[in-house]
Amino acid sequence: MAPVDPLTVQHGTRLVAQVRVVVHTLDAAGATISDNHWSIYLVLADNIGSISINMRAESIEGLNMQIA
């Protein structure tokens, strides 16, 4: 799939029928190595498809937290 032009994204007018949030857990909470993550899907109206939102957390040096 070819990249979408930023101007097209800014003016997108697709109707969203549902928002689905999925939590994937493969390790205990608080583990230092884990594949825990979230998937967010915007299900389009008339069941014509969906849009997946990809997120990545980044560690902040010196703080015990993550931002997305």
Where does the pLDDT of residue 46 fall: very low under 50, low under 70, confident under 90, or very high at 90 and above? confident
Backbone region of residue 61 per phi and psi (left: phi > 0; alpha: psi in -120 to 50; beta: other values): beta
CA distance 32 to 35: 10
Where does the pLDDT of residue 30 fall: very low under 50, low under 70, confident under 90, or very high at 90 and above? low
Written as six digits, the tokens of 59 are 């560690």
Contact 22, 43 (CB under 8 A): no
Q: Residue 37: which H helix or E strand, with range?
A: strand 37-44
Secondary structure letter of residue 30 according to DSSP: T
Q: How high is the mean pLDDT of the chain?
A: 73
Written as six digits, the tokens of 6 are 């930023």
